[in-house]
Amino acid sequence: MSLCGYWVNTDVNGGLLNRAKKLAEKMGIDFSELPKPKEYPPNTMEIYHWRRRAYYIQCENEESFKQWSNAFMDCCRWVYGYNNKDPVHKQAFDEAIRRTRWELGRWGWWTWGGSEEQVLSDLISDQIDWAIMGRIYSKLNGAWTVRNMIRNQVLKTIDSFVSAAVAPAWKAMDSVVKEIRPKIEPVVKEVAEPLGKAERQIIDKISESCLSVINPILQEHVTPHLSKIVEVIKSPMTEAFDESYKIYDEHMAKFSASNKDEANKAFKELDYIPRSYHMYKATDKTDVMYEPLWALHIIFEDIYPWSYIYQAHDTIRDTMDNAMYTFEQRLLKAMEEGADPNSVKDKIKAEVLEDYKSDAFKVAVNYYAEIMKKIVMPPFNKLVIPACKEALEPLENLIPDVLKNPVPLISIYQLFDDVLNQVIDGAINTILSSA
């Protein structure tokens, strides 16, 4: 199964119902006219992609369901679909896709996956479906099953035409990039100092021209909601980490080894804990964030509660994993210095626990900041970018000619993004310092 661009829906029946409601709205029909979606039995997960086939997997019990759903979530999040493995390519391509969507008015953190050709094809097909086909679907007549069949066939046809056009276009573009990159890299190194100076000067000009527009929008549409978001996510994360300390204590109490071989064997058992079902007692504490986060959907249309919750699960497990690793390394060092592992393990365990708590606090704060930014940034951009567009255009003339050829090395809108990020980060830090 190629899981690029897929996500895991653990509430299959609820997810199908919500998608049916959105589809009815898009096609301009009464939701009550639609046949009821198929009911799936308990412990069934959906491995879903908005344009590709979906998989429905039923587990024999709740414990198996949690283990498999977590495994699929990890695979969906970490799978790499691009043909080009260069990290600079990935960052640039991701940024180009995001910026293209936002310039089209498609605000939000869209999830995509697959090869470069697949991502571009999905983006174009999605835009056609969203901007053009919705008006056509609403004019179709006949029974729902017939109308839906027509829509599905239209989507397949669009996908086919778009894919056929994108593949050779991307191949040509990729060849050009590979050819021009060796020529650009030396130029970038030569102009690194003037590039940095020009960027700082332009950022200052952007701030002078746009902050009078940005700040009122920030105060009216963003700042009032940041405290509410912190209230939703802080308590569950605190409780989850508190529970994780108990899990740490519980399993460390079982640790026993009299030599290096026994220690390595015991370490393998510890390594299993952060990714095991034992952590459910901690990670499940964050699941209560779903309802209050979803309530914010009225204000923030692109909010995705489960993605933030799954990120919380990862954050908690990763921090526990770091604590286990630290314990292992410190114990091995003590053993190399001649210490008996059973005589020093309690002292090391206690020291690591204190470090674990300190790290957990820092990690949690970073998590709060990242989640707040993901929630408020799309609607903030939606309001700010059009409002500042007129002020930004004249600033293009500030870019020195040497930084425009053979390709532009400075983007006004990229620097504007930097300014917006600084503004949002400042607002978030102010809220967190008082939370």
Q: Report residue 127 as tokens.
A: 């835009």
How high is the pLDDT of residue 99?
A: 83
Residues 415, 418: Cα–Cα separation, whole Å: 5
Q: Do you find a cis peptide bond into 406, omega within 30 degrees of 0?
A: yes
Mean pLDDT of 23-47: 76
Q: Which of 215, 221, 237, 234 is nearest to 300 (CA)?
A: 221
User: Is the pLDDT reported for residue 33 higher than 70?
Assistant: no
Q: 128 pLDDT exceeds 90? A: no
Residue of higher predicted confidence among 104 and 44 = 44
Q: Tell me the pLDDT of the chain averaged across its residues.
A: 86
pLDDT, one tens digit per residue, over 345-374 is: 999 999 999 999 999 999 999 999 999 998
Residue 429 is predicted with a pLDDT of 93
Q: What is the mean pLDDT of residues 174-201?
A: 82
For residue 84, give every residue at least 6 positions away whose Cβ sits within 8 Å of its Cβ, in sequence order, or none: 90, 93, 116, 174
* Higher pLDDT pick, 119 / 139: 119
Residue written as token pair 């930084």: 403
Tell me how far apart the alpha carbons of residues 306 and 15 are, in angstroms, rounded to a whole number. 12
Are 343 and 258 in contact by the 8 Å Cβ rule? The answer is no
Measure Cα distances from 395 to 99, 211, 297, 412, 416 in Å. Answer: 19, 15, 36, 7, 11
pLDDT confidence band for 64 (50 / 70 / 90): very high
At 131 the pLDDT is 79
The percentage of residues in the chain with a pLDDT greater than 70, rounded to a whole number, is 92
Compare 384 and 193 and report the one with higher pLDDT: 384
pLDDT of residue 405: 64
For the segment 414-432, the average pLDDT, to the nearest whole number, is 91
More confident residue, 38 or 417: 417
CA dist., res. 374 & res. 312, Å (int): 14
Q: Report domain extents, the chain.
A: 7-78, 87-184, 218-434
Whole-angstrom Cα Rg for the chain: 26
Q: Is 80 exceeded by the pLDDT of residue 399?
A: no
Q: In whole angstroms, what is the distance from residue 132 CA to residue 155 CA? A: 12
Whether 31 shows a pLDDT value over 70: the answer reads no
Mean pLDDT calculated for residue range 175-202: 82
296-312 pLDDT, tens digit per residue, is 887 887 787 888 898 89
CA dist 244 → 62, 274, 354, 356 (Å): 21, 9, 13, 10
Ramachandran assignment for 43, one of left (phi > 0), alpha (psi -120 to 50 degrees), beta (any other): left
Angle at 248 between CA 263 and CA 348, to 5 degrees: 55
Give me the percent of the chain exceeding a pLDDT of 90: 36
- Strand order of the β-sheet with 44-48 is 7-9, 44-48, 55-58
Q: Per-residue pLDDT for 142 more than 70? A: no
Contact present, 183 and 349 (Cβ < 8 Å): no
